[in-house]
Homo-oligomer: A and B are copies of this chain.
């Protein structure tokens, strides 16, 4: 019986850390070897991290990645490793090196370069034009990269037509809610369509605004899930691929046989690279049992993404502790819980900065939360500072009524205090604004928006509540006080303030925002969904008018199909106002 033992090494790479990423590749090659793996696959651009952005324009960066690739060769004695790197021949390519038994046997260059959403690959890479297959011990293997496999007529088809029984697809696929399920359906379809085994190795970890969720998978030629790696953790998925089954299945599939005959003429366009035989001492006689860890779905999945993304941003940027302004509200509570889960309670400091408008309940709730989490809480009353602003500005503001100016002054005092602690003690400030606020501009620039990382920036308010419920139920020990969850949302910047004085209720606001921001729906289309026209107009106007604030917002984790940031690029100077558009 022919089978191939593969290892899918879903490692957590760091952009720019070529040395560290290579070290990790070596470590996983060694672990794979110990488990008798014959072919181990690493993520897309594993050596450079993904996305390297304009580092790719530095020749010294590309050269260093090539040097490191060459240094990996000796470690591949006895096996095959597929490693993502930047190939260069004057132009540069997003490429996969096939390192086999100490030699560089071949290179695949990505054919389909994504240049939408968060992706800018056309900015850097040239398109690869060849789709080679690799022959090993009578088995035919195709190698390609991420976006390639999303195209039904792409290199996967060419490689299948050239006889590939297994395709080794390597990825750095940014997470958003619902993507894993969609992706797995596509991979299963691709496996069935081409009658081949699909191995999908994904990056894991956080990189600025992006989270890579891991969850590497293998689908067999019948579209059945053979194995899945962990989500949001490094993993080495080892499985034995029954290549004979592909062969048998193809022979008995008349549709497939016809395709093969049609493909005969194309076969010679696909380079065929033979890998030299290696000693088989490590081959194991019986197939491994399958690995499928429990699947995180829904709120649990989003929560996992936020925890890992936060941990990685903090750690990869060299911070030990983080600082969070705790208002007693749900958003800052949620961010504190995520931070504690990501970093441990001793690495998270809360600050309560009560003003004349802060209710007793808010103070108590912040304290209860900190106590539940076992984190430190510093209290810095801001009243004296607020008074000094009011008296200093008194002469200039004479005769003008109080308005949001005075509210923003308070938020900016808090921003200044948080940053003072950050500067003094080297703690990273986590901001607490959610997507509903970022969308509508219901946040103060340089105030509550001040900080290094915006944990729930892409989480709509209604989902913040879902996450709170999930986390409180997760291990039977609620951490967020019930009173925080049930209280009416308020900024507490003037007497008796409530969010609903400025915004529609969140269950109305959030679907309108999704339609406008994530789906580019027009005013009339959103009204057609059943929302009052005046409400929709107001929301759209708020979104359009807040672009300048978002441009200066800290980065935060993408968890929806379209996040603010690199994912949605709108001009600030813009007279195309969605609320005025006829159609």
**B-contacting residues of A (Cβ < 8 Å)?**
14-18, 20, 51-55, 57-61, 63-64, 115-116, 120, 122-123, 206-208, 312-313, 316-317, 378, 380-382, 384-385, 387-389, 391-393, 396-397, 400, 403-405, 408-409, 412-413, 415-417, 419-421, 423-424, 445-446, 450, 452, 520, 522, 548, 551-555, 568-578, 581-583
Q: How far is the CB of A51 from chain B (nearest CB, A)?
A: 7
Complex Cα–Cα for A553 and B522 (A): 31
- The answer for the CA separation of A57 and B520 in the assembled complex, in Å, is 7
A-B contact pairs, 9 of them (CB 8 A): A15-B574, A16-B571, A53-B570, A58-B578, A59-B520, A115-B123, A120-B569, A384-B391, A412-B412
* Given A317-B572, A392-B380: A424 and B412 interface contact (C-beta under 8 Å): no
Q: Which of B60, B381, B393 is close to A417, meaning CB atoms less than 8 Å apart? A: B393
Contact B424 A420 (CB under 8 A): no
Residue of B nearest to A583 (CB): B60
Residues from chain B with a CB closer than 8 A to the CB of A61 are: 576, 581
Please, which residues of chain B bring their CB within 8 A of the CB of A575? 14-17, 20, 316
Cβ of A574 to closest chain B Cβ, rounded Å: 4
Question: Are B208 and A54 neighbours in the complex by a CB distance under 8 Å?
Answer: no
Find out whether the CB atom of A548 lies under 8 angstroms from the CB atom of B452: yes
Nearest-Cβ distance from residue A328 to partner chain B, whole angstroms: 20
Bound state CA distance, A403 and B422, in angstroms?
A: 12
Cβ of B317 and Cβ of A570 under 8 Å apart?
A: no
Residues of B within 8 A of A552 (CB): 552-554
| Nearest CB of chain B from residue A573's CB, rounded to whole Å | 5
Asked if B424 and A397 make an inter-chain contact with CB atoms under 8 angstroms apart, the answer reads yes
Contact of A115 among B58, B115, B413 (CB under 8 A): B115
B446 near A419: Cβ-Cβ < 8 Å: yes
- Given the complex of chains A and B, what is the CA–CA distance between A417 and B390 in angstroms? 10
Residues in B neighbouring A405, C-beta threshold 8 A: 420, 423-424
Looking at the assembled complex, report how far the CB atom of A446 sits from the nearest CB atom of chain B, in whole angstroms: 4
A388 to B576, CA, bound (A): 45
> Do A573 and B316 contact each other (CB < 8 Å), given the known contacts A54-B568, A396-B380?
yes
State whether A416 touches B419 (Cβ < 8 A).
no
| Interchain nearest-CB distance for A316 vs B (Å) | 5
CB-CB under 8 A from A16, the residues of chain B are 571, 574-577
Q: Tell me which residues across on chain B come within 8 A of A551, comparing CB atoms.
A: 554-555
Task: Determine the distance from Cα of A577 to Cα of B17 in the docked complex, in whole angstroms.
Answer: 9
Q: Point out the residues of chain B lying under 8 angstroms from A387, CB to CB.
A: 388
Is A571 within 8 A of B452, CB to CB? no
| A-B interface, 3 closest residue pairs, ranked by CB to CB distance from nearest | A16-B576, A17-B575, A388-B388
The residue that A412 contacts in the complex, of B54, B55, B416, with Cβ under 8 A, is B416
Contact of A389 among B122, B397, B416, B582 (CB under 8 A): B416
Of all chain B residues, which has the CB nearest A549?
B452
Give min CB distance, A447 to chain B, whole Å: 9
B396 lies within 8 A of A423 (CB): no
> Are B583 and A63 neighbours in the complex by a CB distance under 8 Å?
yes
Chain B contacts of A424 at CB under 8 A?
Answer: 397, 400, 403, 405
Verify A15–B573 contact, CB threshold 8 A.
yes
Q: Is the CB of A419 within 8 A of B445?
A: yes
Q: Which residues of B contact A14 (CB under 8 A)?
A: 573, 575
In the complex, what residues of B have CB within 8 A of residue A582's CB? Answer: 64
Please name all residues of chain B whose beta carbon is closer than 8 Å to the beta carbon of A568 when the two chains form the complex: 54
Measured CA separation A450–B520 after assembly (Å): 31
Known: A445-B419, A583-B60. A570 touches B393 (CB 8 A): no
Q: Which residues in B have their C-beta under 8 angstroms from that of A64?
A: 576, 581-583
Contact partner of A576 (CB less than 8 A), chosen from B55, B409, B419, is B55
Whether A409 and B400, one on each chain, are in contact in the complex, defined by CB atoms closer than 8 angstroms, is no
Interface centre among A52, A391, A408, A576 (most CB of B within 10 A): A576
Partner of A416, one of B15, B17, B58, B413: B413
Report the bound CA distance from A445 to B421 in whole Å: 14
Q: Enumerate chain B residues within 8 angstroms of A415, measured Cβ to Cβ.
A: 412, 446
The 8 Å CB contact of A55, one of B51, B207, B382, B571, is B571
Q: Contact check: which of B57, B313, B419 meets A408 at CB < 8 Å?
A: B419
Q: How far is the CB of A11 from chain B (nearest CB, A)?
A: 15
A453: min CB distance to chain B, Å: 9
**Given the complex, which residues of B lie within 8 Å of A388, measured CB to CB?**
384-385, 387-388
Within the assembled complex, what's the spacing in Å between the Cα atoms of A452 and B396?
Answer: 21
Contacts of A571 in B (CB 8 A): 15-16, 51-53, 55, 207-208
